[in-house]
């Protein structure tokens, strides 16, 4: 039925999509025709069922086929020309890009080895017995879970977050805190409040890829600053400040994604001096900070919200399903951020904020984080050993949730990632993390999702075959 090539540089899924799309558009597949089942098309083409599902999803998204619940896929009636609903600034099909990876991570079923995921497995959160927490919350708080959440966030949670910051040495009160839907919404609100299109902002290279896409969606100019083992390259930072007069620097102080490194106190101090000298704001992304072992210095601790806007969330410790994060900043800025939040989502869901309030109270959160930290440290060691034995290299010790692996020279990493996906293994390729197009020889692994021996075996075979 389809003419597919495994040696083509076009991914298999795109070949399937394009060939089926052509058949729909030229009428060979007429409106109302039932498409082959996922299993059948996988059998016919030799592609994995994951690839076929992906292809069908893309055809549905393009309006060419329709999914009927429990009844399979059908060719859609062709849309009339000239419909007025065309989106402006359309994204190109993300194919294999950052948005697509984020979407895959958020949508994975248990069938996938999500080695490239940025989240902990949901089973880890279950050890908190979250159902018990919810049950108690509904019993004790009566109507509160069903009352609207104030746009600043639940007052009780904001008080607890202030105490949490104080325990980290950051001088904050509830008046400094605005809750957000994860750190992602904090970045979005900051972009909409602080910057104009065309403004320059500094980012880390490598760094967090979804943030890069968020900044680009706001038409900001990304200025990459190399991330070294002990923090940003300050000479490069100063040169970038002179050349670009950036408005802000987005960075992770502790357990940096993807390298796992943490900033030294000396660098923290010198970076804040540059912020003062060149007048840029520092957006400190501390989503991994709770997993840091031992004493740590955060930018907000030294700066006290003069230049620093602090953001964090519970997505890395309580899971990405809750969407509870927060910004801590100067109260004058906070007021503008709150208004933006109100005008974009009205307010956050109450239940998630109450859940975090319950978990933060009474030491439950601290014990949970201690368990997660210990378990991650053990898995890091095991995972690194397995990946090294498969042929990958590692430079720095680092810590936290990621291993930043080096693929041996001469390997086509794109092809490796594609082959992995056909074996239901989701890899995160290094180039996604580099706003300057570097890190092409890297892969990021999440040890919590990389323990299946199939992964190391696949990598060993794939690297051996390519060498």
Hey, which residues between 393 and 412 contact its own copies (CB under 8 A)?
none
**Closer residue to its own copies, CB minimum distance, 330 or 414:** 330
362 touches its own copies (CB under 8 A): no
349 touches its own copies (CB under 8 A): yes
**Closer residue to its own copies, CB minimum distance, 285 or 459:** 285
Cis upstream peptide for 258 (omega within 30°): yes
182 touches its own copies (CB under 8 A): yes
CA angle 100, 103, 107 (to 5 degrees): 140
Hey, which residues between 365 and 384 contact its own copies (CB under 8 A)?
none
CA angle 260, 371, 284 (to 5 degrees): 40
Hey, which residues between 159 and 178 contact its own copies (CB under 8 A)?
159, 162, 173-175
226 touches its own copies (CB under 8 A): no
78 touches its own copies (CB under 8 A): no
The DSSP letter of residue 425 is B
DSSP string, 56-122: HHHHHHTTSEEEETTTEEEEPPPPPTT-S-PPSSPPPP-TTSHHHHHHHHHH--TTSB-TT-SS--H
Q: Which of 99, 236, 272, 302 binds its own copies (CB under 8 A)?
A: 99
Q: Which of 351, 369, 436, 463 binds its own copies (CB under 8 A)?
A: 351
Q: Which of 25, 273, 277, 339 binds its own copies (CB under 8 A)?
A: 339
**Closer residue to its own copies, CB minimum distance, 165 or 416:** 165
The rounded distance, in Å, linking the Cα atoms of 462 and 456 is: 10
**Closer residue to its own copies, CB minimum distance, 307 or 429:** 307
330 touches its own copies (CB under 8 A): yes
**Closer residue to its own copies, CB minimum distance, 14 or 330:** 330
Shortest CB 433 distance to its own copies, Å: 17
**Residue 122 Cα distances to 17, 132, 159, 278, angstroms:** 32, 16, 27, 43
Q: Are 45 and 2 in contact (CB under 8 A)?
A: yes
Hey, which residues between 31 and 60 contact its own copies (CB under 8 A)?
60
Cα–chain center distance at 226: 20
Q: Which of 24, 47, 195, 262 binds its own copies (CB under 8 A)?
A: 195
Hey, which residues between 242 and 281 contact its own copies (CB under 8 A)?
275, 279-281
Shortest CB 235 distance to its own copies, Å: 22
**Closer residue to its own copies, CB minimum distance, 322 or 420:** 322
The rounded distance, in Å, linking the Cα atoms of 122 and 375 is: 14
Shortest CB 425 distance to its own copies, Å: 19
Edge-first strand order for the sheet with 403-406 is 403-406, 442-445, 428-429
111 touches its own copies (CB under 8 A): no
The rounded distance, in Å, linking the Cα atoms of 247 and 215 is: 12
Count of residues of this chain found to bind its own copies when the rule CB under 8 A is applied: 101
Shortest CB 465 distance to its own copies, Å: 33
Q: Which of 20, 52, 157, 188 binds its own copies (CB under 8 A)?
A: 188
333: three-class secondary structure by DSSP: helix
Place of tokens 């052509």: 22
Residues ≥6 apart with Cβ < 8 Å to 456: 386, 387, 389, 390
**Residue 371 Cα distances to 126, 173, 271, 288, angstroms:** 12, 28, 33, 15
């Amino acid at each position: 039925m389809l003419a597919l090539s495994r040696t083509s540089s076009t991914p298999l899924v795109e070949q399937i999509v394009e060939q089926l799309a052509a058949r729909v558009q030229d009428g060979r597949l007429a409106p109302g025709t039932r498409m082959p089942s996922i299993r059948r098309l996988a059998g016919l083409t030799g592609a994995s069922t994951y690839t076929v599902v992906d292809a069908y999803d893309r055809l549905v998204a393009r309006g060419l086929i329709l999914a009927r619940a429990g009844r399979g896929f059908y060719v859609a009636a062709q849309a009339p020309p000239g419909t007025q609903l065309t989106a402006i600034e359309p994204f190109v099909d993300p194919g294999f890009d950052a948005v697509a990876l984020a979407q895959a991570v958020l949508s994975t079923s248990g069938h996938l080895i999500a080695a490239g995921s940025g989240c902990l497995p949901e089973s880890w959160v279950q050890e908190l017995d979250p159902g018990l927490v919810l049950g108690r919350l509904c019993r004790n708080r009566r109507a509160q879970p069903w009352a609207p959440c104030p746009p600043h966030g639940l007052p009780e949670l904001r008080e607890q977050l202030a105490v949490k910051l104080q325990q980290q040495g950051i001088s904050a009160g509830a008046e400094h805190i605005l809750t957000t839907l994860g750190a992602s919404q904090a970045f979005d609100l900051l972009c909409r409040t602080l910057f104009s299109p065309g403004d320059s902002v500094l980012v880390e290279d490598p760094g967090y890829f979804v943030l890069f896409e968020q900044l680009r969606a706001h038409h900001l100019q990304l200025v990459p600053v190399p991330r070294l083992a002990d923090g940003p390259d300050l000479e490069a930072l100063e040169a970038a400040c002179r050349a670009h007069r950036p408005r802000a620097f987005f960075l992770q102080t502790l357990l940096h994604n993807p390298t796992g490194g943490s900033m030294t106190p000396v660098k923290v101090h010198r970076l804040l001096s540059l912020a003062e000298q060149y007048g840029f704001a520092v957006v400190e992304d501390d989503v991994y900070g709770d997993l840091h072992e031992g004493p740590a210095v955060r930018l907000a601790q030294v700066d006290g919200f003069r230049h620093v806007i602090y953001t964090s969330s519970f997505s890395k410790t309580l899971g990405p399903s809750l969407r509870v994060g927060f910004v801590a900043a100067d109260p004058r800025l906070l007021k503008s951020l709150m208004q933006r939040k109100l005008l974009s989502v009205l307010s956050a869901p109450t239940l998630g904020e109450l859940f975090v309030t319950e978990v933060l109270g009474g030491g439950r959160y601290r014990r949970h984080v201690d368990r997660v930290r210990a378990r991650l440290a053990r898995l890091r060691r095991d995972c690194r050993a397995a990946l090294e034995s498969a042929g990958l290299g590692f430079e720095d010790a680092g810590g936290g949730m990621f291993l930043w692996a080096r693929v041996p020279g001469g390997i086509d990493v794109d092809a490796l990632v594609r082959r992995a996906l056909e074996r239901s293994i989701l890899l995160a390729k290094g180039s996604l993390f580099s706003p300057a197009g570097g890190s092409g020889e890297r892969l990021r692994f999440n040890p919590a999702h990389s323990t299946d021996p199939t992964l190391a075996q696949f990598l060993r075979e794939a690297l051996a075959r390519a060498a």
